[in-house]
C-alpha cells in the first residue's frame, strides 16, 4: 500500500471537498478513471484517516447563535477533551502542545453558556487568556496540498497517533480498510466496538 498522494487522488479530494456527496460515478467521469479505481483510492485515503467524514456545513447565525473564540493556556489534552465533550456549544478546538496554548470556537444561543464553558476550562486547570466575539468569518476553505505528495502520514484508527513504519492492517467484510499502529491498537479498537454494540 503506497503512501503517496498523486494527482488523481488530489483531483478526487478537490471534488469531494466541494461536494462530499459526489458519487463514485460522478468522480469517475470527472477524473477520467474507472469507478473501481475511484472506490479503491477513496478507501485507501479513508484508511489513512485523511477523509474524516461528510458533514453538512450549517450557518449557526441562521439559528440565532453568536460565535466566540476563547484563547486559553492548558495543562493536559485529556482535560480539554472532557470540557469539549461536556459542552456541545464548542465547535472546534485547536491545541498547541509546545506552548500549551489553545483556541476554541464556541457557538452559543445564550451568552451565559459562555461563562459556564470558561468556568469548566478553569476547573480543568486551564487559564482563559481571552474571550472575544466573532463578527466576521467569511474566510474558510478545506485545505489541500497544491501538488502530489511523496509520503502521506496515516493515523492509527484507534489512538489517532501517526503511524510510523509498517501499519497493522485490517480489512473489514464490507471492504473498509483500517490501519493501526500495532496489533494491540487493533485489539483495543475491536474490544471497544464490541462493548459499545452490546451496550446498545
Ligand atoms: Zn494506535
Average pLDDT over residues 22-32: 96
How many distinct structural domains can be found in the chain?
Answer: 3
Distance (Å) from CA 183 to ligand 1 centroid: 9
Distance (Å) from CA 17 to ligand 1 centroid: 27
pLDDT at 137: 77
Distance (Å) from CA 173 to ligand 1 centroid: 21
Distance (Å) from CA 28 to ligand 1 centroid: 33
CATH number reported for the structural domain that contains residue 93 in this entry: 3.30.70.100
Where do we find the cell 484517516?
49
pTM attached to this predicted model: 0.77
- With respect to residue 144, please indicate whether it lies within any of the assigned structural domains: no
pLDDT at 198: 75
Distance (Å) from CA 198 to ligand 1 centroid: 23
- With respect to residue 188, please indicate whether it lies within any of the assigned structural domains: yes
Average pLDDT over residues 151-162: 91
Copy the grid coordinates of residue 18: 466541494
- With respect to residue 110, please indicate whether it lies within any of the assigned structural domains: yes
**Residues in CB range of 190: below 8 A, 6 or more apart:** none
Neighbours of ion ligand 1 (CB under 5 A): 156, 158-159, 181, 185
Instruction: Summarize pLDDT for 102-132 with one digit per residue, the tens.
Output: 999 999 999 999 999 999 999 999 999 999 9
- With respect to residue 145, please indicate whether it lies within any of the assigned structural domains: no
Distance (Å) from CA 145 to ligand 1 centroid: 25
Instruction: Summarize pLDDT for 58-103 with one digit per residue, the tens.
Output: 889 899 999 999 999 999 999 999 999 999 999 999 999 999 999 9
Distance (Å) from CA 154 to ligand 1 centroid: 11
pLDDT at 175: 85
Would you place residue 2 in the very low, low, confident or very high pLDDT band (cuts 50, 70, 90)?
low
- With respect to residue 143, please indicate whether it lies within any of the assigned structural domains: no
Phi and psi (nearest 5°) for 124?
-80, 0
Residues 118 and 172 in one domain: no
Distance (Å) from CA 193 to ligand 1 centroid: 15
Q: What's the whole-number average pLDDT of the chain?
A: 92
Largest Cα span, the chain: 54
Would you place residue 55 in the very low, low, confident or very high pLDDT band (cuts 50, 70, 90)?
confident
Residues 72 and 116 in one domain: yes
CATH number reported for the structural domain that contains residue 163 in this entry: 2.30.170
Q: What domain range is 25 assigned to?
A: 1-50
CATH number reported for the structural domain that contains residue 45 in this entry: 1.10.10.10
CA of 152: how far to CAs of 48, 62, 117, in Å? Answer: 8, 38, 36
| Alpha helix positions (H), the chain | 7-18, 24-31, 35-47, 77-86, 112-123, 183-199
Amino acid at each position: 500500500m503506497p503512501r503517496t498522494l498523486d494527482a488523481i487522488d488530489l483531483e478526487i479530494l478537490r471534488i469531494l471537498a466541494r461536494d462530499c456527496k459526489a458519487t463514485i460515478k460522478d468522480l469517475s467521469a470527472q477524473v477520467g478513471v474507472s469507478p473501481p479505481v475511484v472506490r479503491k483510492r477513496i478507501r485507501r485515503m479513508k484508511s489513512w484517516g485523511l477523509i474524516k467524514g461528510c458533514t453538512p456545513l450549517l450557518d449557526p447565525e441562521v439559528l440565532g447563535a453568536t460565535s466566540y473564540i476563547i484563547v486559553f493556556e492548558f495543562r493536559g489534552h485529556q482535560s480539554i477533551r472532557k470540557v469539549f465533550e461536556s459542552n456541545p456549544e464548542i465547535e472546534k478546538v485547536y491545541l498547541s502542545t509546545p506552548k500549551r496554548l489553545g483556541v476554541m470556537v464556541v457557538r452559543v444561543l445564550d451568552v451565559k453558556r459562555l461563562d459556564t464553558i470558561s468556568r469548566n476550562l478553569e476547573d480543568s486547570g486551564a487559564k482563559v487568556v481571552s474571550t472575544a466575539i466573532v463578527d466576521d468569518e467569511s474566510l474558510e476553505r478545506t485545505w489541500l496540498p497544491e501538488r502530489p505528495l511523496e509520503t502521506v502520514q496515516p493515523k492509527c484508527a484507534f489512538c489517532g497517533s501517526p503511524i510510523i513504519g509498517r501499519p497493522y492492517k485490517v480489512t473489514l467484510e464490507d471492504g473498509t480498510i483500517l490501519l493501526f499502529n500495532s496489533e494491540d491498537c487493533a485489539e483495543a479498537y475491536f474490544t471497544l466496538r464490541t462493548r459499545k454494540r452490546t451496550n446498545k
